[in-house]
Amino acid sequence: MANVSLRGRSDGYELEIPAESNFAASLTDLKKLLKKVRDQDNSLQEITFSVRTGRRVLTDEQHKQITVAVTSYDKFRLTGITADVLDQPSVVDLLKAQQVFVVPQIIRSGQELFFDGDVVLLGSVHQGAMLKASKNIYVVGVVDGGVLHAGYPDHADAIIAGDVSQAAQIRISDLVAIVADNPDMTAHKFAHVNEKHELVVDPLSDLKKLKPALYTQMEGK
């Protein structure tokens, strides 16, 4: 397993640091990759980098070290560092809202839990298990073959946000989606019901545009 990988994109480069790698080793390899890019490209144009850290949420110090490594080169710009999980500040903001239930435990095969409100999943939902919420479900933990049902039974304005790529199904209100048939259900996405009453998936960055009321509620808490 590489400590860091580099992929070229139309708008710059994407650096990926696996969550399982040793951060110090990844930082060393990152600096080597950046030097290689600079040696191969001496143009005066700005070069942008984005960083993905998988299921690892960086500390403030680690974030700073990556930022310094990239911006130490002239014309190198860091556009963002993102993880495939919600970070702690995001979870804290959610907990400030009313009727938010934190689910830290493992929901095992055959179990079905229901919460009347929003749910922050910190634990895991195993295959054959189901987690239901009358409102929204925010995935911070792991859904390993289980089923998530937001907006139960008929709240079509609910969303499911977070990494559901390993879930068996997601459901919102009366709509069902098989995750294996929907490769777009990756991290940094949220599932919702559109104006045609279809269960669809969109980037979290579009939440404000597509769900303005929910976005305002979360922002104000």
Could you please state the CATH topology (level 3) that the domain comprising 88-220 is classified under: Pectate Lyase C-like (2.160.20)
Going by the DSSP 8-state scheme, the letter that residue 204 receives in this structure is G
Per-residue pLDDT at 167: 96
pLDDT confidence of residue 174: 96
Backbone angles phi, psi at 94, to 5 degrees: -65, -35
Per-residue pLDDT at 97 exceeds 60? no
Question: Residue 210 in contact with residue 203, Cβ under 8 Å?
Answer: no
Q: What is the mean pLDDT of residues 209-220?
A: 77
On the question of pLDDT at 94 being above 60, the answer is no
% of the chain with per-residue pLDDT over 90: 58
pLDDT grade, residue 11 (50/70/90)?
Answer: confident
Residue 98 has pLDDT above 60, yes or no: no
Span 5-82 CATH architecture: 2-Layer Sandwich (3.30)
Contacts 24+ apart (CB under 8 A), 134-138: 134/158, 135/99, 136/160, 136/161, 136/214, 137/161, 137/162, 138/86, 138/91, 138/94, 138/162
Which pLDDT value is given to residue 90? Answer: 62
pLDDT at 50: 92
* Residue 11 identity (one-letter amino acid): D
Task: Identify the helix (H) or strand (E) that includes residue 95.
Answer: helix 88-95
Whether residue 96 is predicted with pLDDT greater than 60 in this model: the reply is no
Q: Where are the domains of the chain?
A: 5-82, 88-220
Distance (Å, whole) CA 129 – CA 138 = 17
DSSP string, 31-42: HHHHHHHHHH--
Residue 153 is predicted with a pLDDT of: 95
List, for residues 20-38, the tens digit of each pLDDT value: 889 999 999 999 999 999 8
- Quick check: 115 pLDDT over 60? yes
Cβ atoms 199, 191 nearer than 8 A: yes
pLDDT of residue 8: 87
92-96, 119-123, 144-148, 169-173: least confident range: 92-96
